Amino acid sequence: MAREPKTNYEKNGVKYYRVTVTLGRDCNGKLIRKEFYGKNKKDAEEKKDQYLNGINEGLNIDFSNVILGNLMRSWLFEIVRISSNIKPASFSRYEGVFRNYIENSLIYNIKLSDLKSIQIQRYYNNLKSIGKSSNSIKYLNKLLKQFFNYCVDEGYMLKNPCSGKRIVIPSDEIVGPQDEEVEYFTDEEVKILVDGLSKHSLKHIILINLGTGMRRGELLALQWDDINFQSKEICIKRSLSKTYLIDEDGSRKKQTIIQTPKNSHSIRTIPFPESLLPLFKELEIKQKKDKLAAGELYVNSDYIFTTAIGNLIDVGNLYNSYASLLKKLNIKHKKFHALRHTYATKLFEQGIPLKTVSQLLGHSNIEITANIYTHVIPKQKVDAVEKLNYMFKSL
């Protein structure tokens, strides 16, 4: 018995199995036929049956007229938004990309059945020509790729126009050997900063950040149970962020939330220097005094860093107070994240191995750490080679 061929049709160089069904006749008496494509006969038949079942249930959808923007909005708000795998901050970024790059764009009204990779490529090239960065376009492409995967899985499209090497992200012009330097505090600036913190409200946050290198959100989400004072270790398992929470109708409201850290490697246990122990003790005493002073207005919680009435620290207020402090101390302004960079830089300067620093920082791989701290690693290599001088003392 002859075997059934796996494919029987080729389109744009790709082989498929095609089945055809007659749906009736149009007003001119012409037969209405619809084709279904699959990786093999079974796959194509399943798509055909799904479509016919939809007709029987009154769900006849003509995929040929589905508009990219309309379906992407439905996918984003009705599927992605309610997924247990999506964090509010991530969805806020997705919604922002859709709002800024898909709505009212050149590609919004394109029919999925007509969409080709070259149309996406031209759109990206146009974005680059009006000043959008490669990173912005790359993030847009990442979201579109996820959406088109959904479209392929649901039968709206035969293939993903953003998959493989079909799309090239326009590159930024190379300004120099390093477009953006990592900001960190010098030893002199650290001394000025530490000396100027004795009675400042940010004393504990800044000093503990310098001694642990935690991300801002990880630091502000710390609870007392996360600290092991005997082993001098901190368990990092949550993060605070201020982001837009978006309803299904697209309305946006900014809110402070607590969530799990950005990746699985961020959930970690790190040691802290013994010199930080008195700071935690001072914080305990301060919270008790705040509670007595606020009385019934005080909000009880297990968080370490709180306001005078027990609320979580507002990120915007933290940044404003931090910027004012640097200005008062005549230190050139650096992002709050520079405290974390300072921690890592000083570890490298003390000869701590790359892998260890990467694990302490909670990076997903050491390549990320190496790429960020290129300003320190070359000096480490020079210092390491200099240690071989002992072999040549007799020369």
Q: What is the pLDDT along the chain (395 residues), one digit of tens a residue?
A: 456 667 888 877 788 888 887 765 544 556 667 788 888 888 888 888 887 776 555 455 556 778 999 999 999 998 999 887 888 888 999 999 999 999 999 899 999 988 999 999 999 999 999 999 999 999 999 999 999 999 988 888 888 999 888 899 998 765 444 445 789 999 999 999 999 998 899 999 999 999 999 999 999 999 999 999 999 999 999 999 888 888 877 788 888 888 888 778 899 999 999 999 999 999 999 999 999 999 999 999 999 999 999 999 999 999 999 999 999 999 999 999 999 999 999 999 888 899 999 999 999 899 989 888 877 766 555 565 555 555 555 55
Residue type, 13: G
Give the span between the Cα atoms of 255 and 361, in whole angstroms. Answer: 26
Contact 256, 315 (CB under 8 A): yes
The confidence score (pLDDT) of residue 392 equals 56
Domain 187-384 is found in CATH 1.10.443.10: yes
Contact 60, 24 (CB under 8 A): no
* b/e per residue 209-244 (b: at least 16 CB within 10 A): bbbbbbbbbbbbbbeeebbeeeeeebebbbbbbbbb
pTM, rounded to two decimals: 0.68
Contact 117, 167 (CB under 8 A): yes
